[in-house]
Amino acid sequence: MTILEATGRLRPYGIMVAQDTARVFEAIEKQGGRARFVGGVVRDALLRRDLHDVDIACDLCPDDTVTALEKVGIRAVPTGIAHGTVTAITDAGSYEITTLRVDVLTDGRHAQIAFTDNWLEDAKRRDFTFNAIYCDLDGTLYDPFDGETDLGDGRVRFIGIAENRIAEDYLRILRFFRFQAWFGRPPIDPVGAEACRKGVQGLRDISPERIRDEVLKLLRAKSPAGTVGDMIGFGILPAILPQLTQTANLRIMQWLDSTALADPAIRPDPLRRLAALFKVPDDGDVSANIAEDFARSLRLSNAETDRFSAMISHAALIEPDLDADTIRRDLYWMGADRFRDAVLLAWSMRAAVPPRCSQDESKGWQNLVSAAANWQPISLPIQGRDILAAKLAPAGPKIGILLKQAEEYWLDHGCEPDRDNLIAYLASHPVVAGEQETQ
């Protein structure tokens, strides 16, 4: 067994000091093993960030880990037992417990592993220095690659030879840039970035779902524009997502983050940032579902695809001088969230590149954002059963035609006519309904 030397201490907090966490550690120790926090929970604890997912490394084989947990009444789920991972479920939360491992064979996507009790060998197979810091329950740190210093300096650095770590798993290219966006400071580590550039073709064998997850995680960072610029400069995005590589669109996202999102009421949003980066064809034609095709190629969910496509298509129709009736119509049809999406994207597209918005235009955009924030959803005050009760039409297709006619009238009159007014209107305009029915 290789015993790592202690390198420092941190003050545990949050779930690290929960009673259930201690039970998990004690269960493993009673079985003759050793458990330590590792990865994100240690990294985030060093930065004093909120703690969420808890990863634990241990030197017991997976079956012994399950036995250890069950002996003390902790539910054990073999979530990835072939790769050494058992999930412990407690009232405080879940804990992913993984046996120390070494890689036997890798192909850039999957690895064949063997279990070990060698802590240093387990550390060597990890990706970045600050993800290979271990921590005892009492806060004692074991940092074999000086990851704490890299974390403090804002440097994302591969363990060992960067090309080797990438060849083991090409997704690490995207992880490198994702961690740069979340934890790094400029300039980016040139050795790691150059290794990513050389290995980028390996990403073509990575599933769209895994690429999607990494891209959206990156776009959730506080200020990801600089990192996106690095991904363009080092040829990463051009190789896998060429629709996101225009410098002008990068400026749009930067403007969106620095100006439009300066409003504390507007939270940064990865899908909105993705839309800002998306290159619309030069003729501006988005009628051919280009945005939808891109979203589906990235394996966005149906809801995300609908929202992304609507954002792109509606942004082209939004102007800062919309009149009150048009604003009300758009908010009614689109809803406040989608209207705000379109406004923010349209505003960014106009303001980020010459000719920039005038002061009056900027005020107009701000008014549209305010209109979305203050919008109270409204409903058409008439339904099909009201038309049936008034004997304006029998059950059937004509009911829908009359409802559509009433809705247009209601919107044209500031959404003020009530149910009785709309019934009276329909009763006095049967010809319009008939004309619509024959169309």
Question: Computed over its alpha carbons, how large is the radius of gyration of the chain?
Answer: 28
Per domain, the residue ranges of the chain are: 8-153, 160-240, 242-378, 384-438
CA 24 to chain centre: 31
Tell me which long-range contacts 361-369 makes (C-beta under 8 A, separation of at least 24): 361/320, 361/321, 362/320, 363/320, 364/319, 364/320, 364/321, 364/322, 365/320, 367/320, 368/318, 368/320, 368/322, 368/327, 368/339, 368/343, 369/260, 369/263, 369/266, 369/340, 369/343, 369/344
Among 299, 258, 262, 302, which Cα is nearest to 276's?
A: 258
Among 109, 312, 334, which Cα is nearest to 207's?
A: 109
- Does 8-153 match 160-240 in CATH topology? no
pTM greater than 0.85: yes
Residues 378-410: tens digit of each pLDDT = 999 999 999 999 988 888 888 999 999 999 999
Specify which residues 103 forms β-bridges with. Answer: 113
Cβ distance 137 to 22 under 8 Å?
yes
Per-residue pLDDT at 140: 98
pLDDT profile of the chain (439 residues), mean per 10: 85 96 97 96 96 94 95 93 91 94 76 89 96 97 97 97 95 98 96 98 94 97 95 96 93 87 80 93 61 94 95 91 92 94 93 82 92 93 92 89 92 92 89 45
Write out the CATH class of domain 160-240: mainly alpha
Per-residue pLDDT at 257: 86
Q: Which CATH architecture has domain 8-153?
A: 2-Layer Sandwich (3.30)
